[in-house]
Structure 1
Amino acid sequence: MTEQTAEPTVRHMPAEHRYEIRAGGALAGFTAYRDRGDQRVFYHTKIDEAFSGQGLASRLVHDALSDVRATRKRVVPVCPYVKKYLEKHDGYADISDPVTPEVLQWLDGELH
């Protein structure tokens, strides 16, 4: 199997504060976060239109949340897609924290 036909892969890119998913060797999308203490605050997920409808967003978020669990952090789902994923997959309820006004204010400061 060549790199171009390989299974989609998810990589943590800590310097960019995001997880990326690649399909066929090309960047297909990402989910972005900022760390706040022991919380990983996810605020944006994007899949390129050319890759939509392939289940890549779900795979990306699943792998990102599994990494969060492995690093003993907690998830704060500001991103609507991550929030929806958590609502459908209760296997991550034990590491999920609610979005609070304090978290939103902190995130706004981090991003601006």
Structure 2
Amino acid sequence: MNEPFLYKGTDAMAWSLSQIAELVEEVKSLGCLEQLVGEAAHRKLVVRVPPETVNFVKSFLFREGHHKKSLKARDIIVSAHCFQQPQVPDGGPPLPPDGPPRPDAPPPF
């Protein structure tokens, strides 16, 4: 192969959670996950996730009790967003950085 087969469409692509998980696992196994994430952040690229998917993940983590085992899972469940959100490239408002726990946040575990 001499070059990648780039997507030529203009509409966003729909990927299942299993496709995303497989992609992340493969990139991680290749040892370049941090580099990929760093370059994507430098380019201000984001992945938009529908609210139904966000809420499914939050409900799954809660139902399976992962909030009792993982501070990150707990933070995902109680937050209005998942993880630290990047500044969106379309000029949206700046989003708050991760920082100390909010005074109104439930206690950990």
**Is TM more than 0.5 here?**
no
TM score, norm. by length of structure 1: 0.25
Structure in which a larger fraction of residues adopt strand: 1
Rg larger for: 2
